[in-house]
């Protein structure tokens, strides 16, 4: 762990094999498990669970009540809203002894709204925006705005999150619009 410029609340539990990048903050009642890797300048909120071998990029903000389970990889500059949920097993059974981790990838710049559920085995594309309460069951294209249960593409957004108000079936014809 890079102890220089890292804040870990006294109530947090961080395993000695976890790697925490400089400038990161881990708040109260949070647990970071074995070999988890949290990048630089991250803000990990209250009552967050970071599972074994989880990878979280630089400058991420993970809000209160989020569980990032084994098999989830989070890129740089990702926002995960309060109580968002990730899964990691396609066939969860309490009695199963042979469950299998199904990976989920959250690409750079993605934002996940409060109480959204992300089913395992998918990729959330760069700078996509998942609406609060959405249930994401399939891959989300870069810059897509998805809403609903199940989540569907309703628009596209810029890097800063501004809606482009385009037909979701047609996509974005002028890619330069995405950078604004």
pLDDT tens for 47-106 read 999 999 999 999 999 999 999 999 999 999 999 999 999 999 999 988 888 889 999 999
As a residue count, the chain comes to 180
Q: What is the pTM of this model?
A: 0.94
Residue 3 pLDDT exceeds 70 = no
Q: What is the pLDDT of residue 123?
A: 98
Q: Are strands 151-156 and 129-130 parallel, antiparallel or unpaired?
A: unpaired
Q: CB neighbours of 82 closer than 8 A, spacing ≥ 6?
A: 45, 63, 64, 65, 66, 114, 115
Which residues are within 8 A (CB) of 97 and not within 5 positions of it... i.e. 6 or more apart?
none
pLDDT tens readout for residues 155-172: 999 999 999 998 888 877
What b/e sequence results for 75-112 when a residue is b if at least 16 CB atoms lie within 10 Å of its CB, and e otherwise? bbbbbbbbbbbbbbbeeeeeeeeeeebeebbbbbbbbb
C-alpha to C-alpha distance for 122 and 25, rounded to whole angstroms: 28
Q: Which of 65, 99, 102, 58 is nearest to 82 (CA)?
A: 65
Residue predicted with more confidence, 174 or 32? 32
Is the pLDDT score of 46 beyond 60? yes
Write out pLDDT tens, residues 103-121: 999 999 999 999 999 999 9
CA distance 126 to 70: 21
């Amino acid at each position: 762990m890079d102890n220089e410029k890292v804040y870990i609340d006294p109530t947090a539990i961080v395993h000695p094999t976890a790697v925490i990048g400089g400038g990161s903050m881990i708040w109260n009642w949070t647990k970071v498990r074995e070999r988890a890797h949290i990048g630089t300048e991250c803000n990990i909120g209250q009552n967050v669970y970071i599972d074994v071998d989880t990878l979280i990029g630089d400058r991420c903000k993970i809000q209160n009540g989020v569980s990032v389970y084994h098999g989830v990889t989070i890129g740089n500059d990702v926002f995960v809203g309060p109580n968002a949920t990730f899964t990691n097993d396609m066939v969860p059974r309490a009695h199963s002894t042979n469950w299998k981790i199904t990976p989920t990838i959250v690409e750079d710049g993605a934002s996940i709204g409060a109480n959204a559920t992300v089913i395992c085995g998918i990729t959330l594309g760069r700078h996509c925006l998942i609406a609060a309460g959405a249930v994401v069951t399939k891959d989300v294209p870069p810059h897509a705005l998805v809403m609903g249960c199940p989540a569907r593409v309703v628009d596209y957004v810029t890097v800063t999150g501004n809606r482009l108000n385009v037909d979701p079936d047609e996509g974005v014809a002028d890619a330069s619009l995405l950078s604004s």
